[in-house]
């Protein structure tokens, strides 16, 4: 089937240039294609390839009881159009909502439910005890009442602060993925009279409340539970690649640059007095290159990461985006530091100052990433708290590192 996806518009950008290139080459009598034409074609093909197939989702949306059996209707289709549009699918459960098997075709007795609109609020009574009621009303939780609907309390909701993690988990943190549509969209008691409650939880499948009051989550087709945290270390850092990783790497580059400047200034002042202008200029030239390179790459990377097109390019060129700027800037800074050490009066202290700059940068990366790793592991529940701790840690490391580098550079200046 053909499904709409906003990112498909990226392919339209290259249609006209690609057509012009094809026309230019189609009329050539000499078949030796110039290298420049091949490079242009490669770039256009790469840009057109950014447009990907739209993510397909399936939503559990409606329960139907027929012939003393519980059925579930789902909608599947483009993640950008559900639940308003999509293809209906039918499932039945043999074990009160824990497993679901597809039913095809949809029986005529159930087909009439397809045209019924989704209800913003659904209330059901517990069999044999009408005072106990459960309801959903457009919020991501299930409520219950024990006094016939006079007062309501929360029976189930996703753990505090984990909604952002569920969204991020869909694409391992690289780019914003298809939204988690938890609903709930419908709820019902199983027809066997056991008191088991089932809830249609959209992309999260089905929630089941046992007669003993225990909640569990179960998959239906492509709809299934998203973890609230991940216990796997291999996934912790993948949750930070975008956008926190870009921001953290960019900030670390700027801090390394600032610390280097703090370390260079006392050394160059003393070197100017002791060795003259020419010796200092051999340090200032690569220092200026380092400053310009860092600013261009950091600012350019930030602008790139905030656009939809840039985000896709960042995903495709992942290693270049994350490794190339730090490598280039690290090379420029190390080269400049090597020249500054030659000018320093106390070369041993200057070398210690350089090590302090490197150590602070590494410590900053660890301090900035650690709170988000704890958030991904579920130890820190709320993203906002993890972000606050990360900011506090990085600022503390930066200030402590700046003081240490300055003191060592003063000692290196003699």
Q: pLDDT tens-digit profile of 116-135? A: 888 889 999 999 899 999 99
What is the chain's percent helix, strand, coil content, to nearest 5?
Answer: 50, 15, 30
pLDDT in tens, 287-327: 777 777 666 766 665 565 555 444 445 444 444 445 666 77
Domain final residue pick, 187, 202, 228 = 228
Q: Where residue 187 falls among pLDDT bands split at 50, 70, 90?
A: very high
Q: Are residues 85 and 197 in the same domain?
A: yes
pTM of the model: 0.69
Mean pLDDT of the chain: 79
pLDDT, residue 310, reads 47
Secondary structure of 119-154 in HEC code, one letter for each residue? CCCEEEEECCEEEEEEEECCCCEEEEECCCCCCCEE
From the list 251, 267, 269, the residue with the least C-alpha distance to 351 is 267
Q: Where residue 144 falls among pLDDT bands split at 50, 70, 90?
A: very high
Least confident of 41-45, 297-301, 326-330, 385-389: 41-45
Domain final residue pick, 195, 228, 261 = 228
Q: Are residues 169 and 213 in the same domain?
A: yes
Q: Are residues 269 and 405 in the same domain?
A: yes
Q: Are residues 105 and 18 in the same domain?
A: no
Is 140's pLDDT higher than 60?
Answer: yes
Least confident of 92-101, 343-352, 378-387: 343-352
Q: Is residue 319 part of a domain?
A: yes
Higher pLDDT among residues 37 and 100, named by residue: 100
pLDDT, residue 122, reads 93
The pair of three-digit structure tokens given for residue 326, joined into one six-digit string: 């730090």
Q: Is the dihedral angle over the CA atoms 337, 341, 345, 347 positive or is it negative? A: positive
Q: Is residue 1 part of a domain?
A: no
Average pLDDT estimate for 263-267: 81
Domain final residue pick, 171, 198, 228 = 228
Q: Are residues 174 and 263 in the same domain?
A: no
Q: Does residue 337 contact residue 405 with C-beta atoms inside 8 Å? A: no
pLDDT, residue 315, reads 47
- Alpha-helix runs per DSSP H in 205-276: 233-236, 244-275
Give the position of tokens 């290298």: 35
pLDDT, residue 363, reads 95
Q: Is residue 244 part of a domain?
A: yes
Is 158's pLDDT higher than 90?
Answer: no
Q: Does residue 407 contact residue 355 with C-beta atoms inside 8 Å? A: no
From the list 293, 287, 362, 292, the residue with the least C-alpha distance to 325 is 293
Q: Are residues 242 and 193 in the same domain?
A: no
Cβ neighbours of residue 332 closer than 8 Å, sequence gap 6 or more: 286, 289, 290, 293, 294
Q: Is residue 357 part of a domain?
A: yes
Q: Does residue 257 contact residue 290 with C-beta atoms inside 8 Å? A: yes
- The domain tally of the chain equals 3
Is 404's pLDDT higher than 80?
Answer: yes
DSSP conformation class of 116: S
Q: Are residues 254 and 218 in the same domain?
A: no
Q: Are residues 61 and 149 in the same domain?
A: yes
pLDDT, residue 1, reads 43
Q: Are residues 245 and 324 in the same domain?
A: yes
Q: Are residues 205 and 310 in the same domain?
A: no
pLDDT, residue 261, reads 84
Q: Is residue 284 part of a domain?
A: yes
Q: Are residues 72 and 25 in the same domain?
A: no
Average pLDDT estimate for 206-220: 94
Q: Is residue 332 part of a domain?
A: yes
Give the pairing of strands 69-78 and 87-92: antiparallel
Domain range for 333 = 235-412
Q: Are residues 21 and 61 in the same domain?
A: no
Phi-psi region of 67 (alpha: psi -120 to 50; beta: other; left: phi over 0): left
């Amino acid at each position: 089937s053909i499904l709409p996806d906003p990112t498909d518009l990226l392919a339209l950008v290259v249609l006209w240039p690609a057509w012009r290139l094809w026309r230019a080459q189609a009329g050539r009598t000499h078949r030796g294609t110039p290298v420049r034409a091949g490079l242009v074609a490669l770039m256009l093909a790469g840009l057109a390839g950014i447009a990907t197939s739209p993510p397909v989702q399936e939503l559990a949306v409606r329960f139907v009881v027929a012939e003393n059996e519980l059925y579930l209707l789902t909608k599947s289709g483009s993640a950008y159009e559900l639940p308003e549009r999509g293809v209906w699918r039918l499932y039945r459960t043999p074990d009160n909502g824990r497993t679901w098997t597809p039913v095809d075709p949809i029986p005529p007795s159930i087909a009439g439910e397809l045209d019924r609109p989704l209800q913003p609020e659904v209330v059901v009574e517990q069999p044999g005890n009408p005072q106990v009621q459960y309801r959903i009303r457009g919020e991501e939780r299930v409520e219950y009442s024990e006094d016939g609907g006079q007062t309501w309390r929360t029976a189930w909701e996703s753990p505090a602060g984990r909604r952002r993690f569920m969204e991020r988990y869909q694409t391992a943190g690289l780019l914003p993925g298809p939204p988690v549509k938890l609903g709930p969209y419908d709820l019902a008691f199983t027809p066997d009279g056991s008191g088991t409650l089932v809830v249609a939880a959209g992309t999260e499948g089905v929630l089941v409340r046992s007669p003993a009051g225990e909640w569990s989550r179960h998959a239906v087709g492509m709809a299934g539970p998203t973890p609230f945290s991940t216990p796997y270390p291999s996934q912790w850092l993948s949750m930070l690649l975008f956008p926190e990783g870009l921001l953290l790497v960019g900030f670390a580059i700027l801090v390394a640059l600032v610390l280097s400047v703090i370390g260079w200034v006392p050394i160059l002042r003393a070197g100017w007095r002791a060795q003259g202008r020419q010796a200092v200029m051999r340090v200032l030239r690569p220092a200026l290159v380092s400053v310009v390179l860092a600013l261009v790459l950091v600012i350019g990377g930030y602008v790139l990461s905030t656009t939809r097109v840039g985000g896709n390019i960042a995903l495709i060129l992942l290693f270049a985006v994350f490794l190339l700027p730090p490598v280039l800037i690290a090379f420029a800074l190390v080269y400049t530091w090597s020249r500054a050490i030659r000018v320093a009066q106390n070369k041993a202290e200057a070398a210690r100052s350089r090590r302090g700059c490197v150590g602070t940068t590494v410590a900053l990366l660890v301090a900035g990433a650690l709170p988000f790793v704890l958030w991904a592991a579920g130890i820190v529940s709320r993203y906002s708290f993890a972000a606050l701790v990360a900011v506090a840690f990085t600022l503390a490391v930066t200030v402590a590192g700046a003081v240490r580098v300055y003191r060592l550079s003063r000692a290196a200046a003699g």
